[in-house]
Amino acid sequence: MLTRISKILAVAFAVGSIAFMGFAIAITFGEPEMSQALSDPAFDAYTVIKQEGAGGQWEAKRGRDGSSVATAKALPDVMVKVLAEVDQTNKQDITLYKQRQTELQTKRDELVAARLADELALQQYEKNLRERLVAVRAEVDKTSTDVITATSESQKLELQVAARREDVFRLKQQVRELDVDIYRLQQIEAQLENLQVQLTGELQRNEERKGQLESRLGGSYAPSVQQ
């Protein structure tokens, strides 16, 4: 069920947000911690390596297919590009969840309308059946020869009423499940938007820090990496 999936995604995004905060703290404090930050879970989907040779550059690759994300002499440049891709992925996820939420809301509204219509129809149906039952029982009182037939018809009518009640109950259950799904999606959307704000802020701070380091080191900043 979508409810179970939305619960799993909510936990996953919460954990991802905590991991990202750990990375943000690590990258904010000096050069040694910058290379250590690559072991943070935020980079689990990427591989960041330094090419061999004196002028070797840093390169980030996607773990799923090995395609390159960015190549640069400075490690912060590569890390900023990775964060930018994570940022874009989160934007796409937010858009997809909003679309799914709209679809679920539309489905919920349709089910609510169908349930209300069925409830009204059921009330009228029950009224008609009761009137018919009264008429049938009146006929039974008049003639004993119709007793078996009338009783059988009465039982069928009562079974039909019970079946309609079960249909209405199922519709109510579906509406409740959709309400839960929509609530979970709203929570996930809020977490994604919060992570989006964090990513945007960290990207800006990393760009500012990179500019300060390049200005201080004469535009040739390349952090040392502990092997």
Could you state, in order of their start, the residue ranges of all structural domains in the chain? 2-216
pLDDT band at 221 (very low <50, low <70, confident <90, very high): low
In 3D space, the residue among 188, 123, 205, 215 whose CA is nearest the CA of residue 161 turns out to be: 123
Burial of 216 (0-12, 13-18, 19+ CB in 10 A): exposed
d(CA 227, CA 220): 21
With a threshold of 0.75, does the pTM exceed it?
A: no
Give pLDDT, residue 54: 64
Q: What is the pLDDT of residues 85-128, one digit of tens each?
A: 888 988 998 999 999 999 999 999 999 999 888 888 888 888 88
Q: What is the pLDDT of residues 143-152, one digit of tens each?
A: 776 667 777 8
pLDDT band at 33 (very low <50, low <70, confident <90, very high): low
157 pLDDT exceeds 60?
yes
219 DSSP 8-state letter: S
The residues, ordered by sequence, that sit 6+ positions from 36 with a Cβ below 8 Å of its Cβ are: 26
133 pLDDT exceeds 50?
yes
